[in-house]
């Protein structure tokens, strides 16, 4: 029979092995991203190590270029408009799907989240076939609607997950006190699901900001976004300013997901306060 000390040593070795394995997996996933950051400060014109020297020339070129400025403005504007649409549609859809008497829920839910499952090239081709006869190709309206369709599933999933743990006795109590349905939604439902709505909207914005395939299908030169600009810079010519933009996007992504973690902690704190 193994002694207590033997079991303790085995447990410590297992934990050490798990930490080493986790560190290796983390390094494998994060190394390609980390490698970009030092190269963005390279004074040379090549995407390779060793670096020729330290310089901010590519940041100055990226932020001083009208093409990049136009691309950033497009990405922010299109992302904000698409996020507003997807947040509204996704929240309403989640509220409907959360109802116990909602018909065909098992069919509607897969249809709503299908843009996340179907290959993006197929989705982009479908958008082109639908939008072309409507005159929405090469237009801001078409790009915004397409990005809103891509972002809506994220809102539906996050809000639906929040509503599954929602205490509906609060709604019955508010209705019993004479509150109208709109008042119940505004004063009870919305404050409780607001962290989930905000989390879904962040995912929707990130999806729009990062999307490149759909914009290649239905966007024109005027709708050039940051990912499309990066794609063009790699395909047409090796533009080292792409590395500077990529580093900025990495920082931006970290900020977005930090916001998601903060919202998740707030949601957990609110849920704990209600249970108490």
pLDDT band at 153 (very low <50, low <70, confident <90, very high): very high
Identify the pLDDT of residue 272.
Answer: 60
Q: Are 81 and 144 in contact (CB under 8 A)?
A: yes
Inter-residue long-range contacts of 186-195, CB under 8 Å, 24+ positions, other chains counted: 189/95, 192/162, 192/166, 192/270, 192/274, 193/91, 193/159, 193/162, 193/163, 193/166, 195/162, 195/263, 195/264, 195/266, 195/267, 195/270
Secondary-structure breakdown of the chain: helix, strand, coil percentages, each rounded to the nearest 5: 80, 0, 20
Identify the pLDDT of residue 15.
Answer: 85
Q: Write the Ramachandran bin of 53: left for phi over 0, alpha for psi from -120 to 50, otherwise beta.
A: left
Q: Given a cut of 70, is residue 108 above it in pLDDT? A: yes
Tell me the whole-structure pTM to 2 decimals: 0.80
Domain boundaries, the chain: 66-275
Q: Given a cut of 80, is residue 264 above it in pLDDT? A: no
Stretch 143-156: mean pLDDT: 92
Average the pLDDT over each of 149-163, 165-179, 235-249 and give the range with the smallest value: 165-179
Average the pLDDT over each of 94-98, 116-120, 188-192, 216-220 and give the range with the smallest value: 188-192
The CATH homologous superfamily to which domain 66-275 belongs is: MetI-like (1.10.3720.10)
Stretch 253-263: mean pLDDT: 80
pLDDT band at 183 (very low <50, low <70, confident <90, very high): confident
């Amino acid at each position: 029979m193994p002694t207590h000390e033997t079991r303790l040593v085995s447990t410590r070795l297992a934990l050490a092995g798990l930490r080493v394995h986790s560190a290796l997996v983390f390094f494998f996933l994060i190394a390609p991203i980390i490698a970009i950051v030092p190269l963005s400060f390279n004074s040379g014109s090549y995407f390779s190590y060793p670096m020729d020297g330290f310089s901010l020339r590519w940041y100055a070129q990226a932020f001083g270029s009208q093409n990049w400025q136009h691309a950033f403005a497009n990405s922010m504007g299109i992302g904000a408009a698409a996020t507003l649409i997807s947040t509204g549609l996704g929240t309403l859809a989640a509220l409907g799907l959360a109802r116990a008497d909602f018909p065909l829920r098992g069919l509607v839910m897969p249809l709503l989240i299908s843009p996340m499952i179907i290959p993006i090239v197929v989705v982009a081709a479908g958008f082109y076939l639908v939008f072309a006869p409507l005159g929405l190709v090469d237009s801001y309206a078409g790009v915004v609607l397409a990005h809103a369709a891509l972002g809506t599933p994220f809102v539906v999933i996050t809000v639906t997950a929040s509503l599954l743990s929602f205490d509906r006795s609060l709604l019955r109590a508010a209705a019993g006190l004479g509150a109208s349905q709109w008042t119940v939604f505004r004063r009870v439902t919305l404050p409780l699901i607001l962290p989930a709505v905000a989390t879904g909207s962040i995912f929707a914005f990130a999806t729009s900001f990062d999307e490149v395939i759909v914009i290649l299908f239905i966007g024109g030169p005027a709708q050039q976004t940051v990912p499309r600009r990066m794609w063009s810079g790699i395909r047409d010519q090796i533009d080292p300013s792409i590395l500077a933009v990529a580093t900025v996007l990495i920082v931006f992504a970290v900020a977005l997901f930090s916001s998601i973690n903060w919202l998740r902690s707030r949601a957990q704190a609110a849920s704990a306060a209600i249970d108490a």
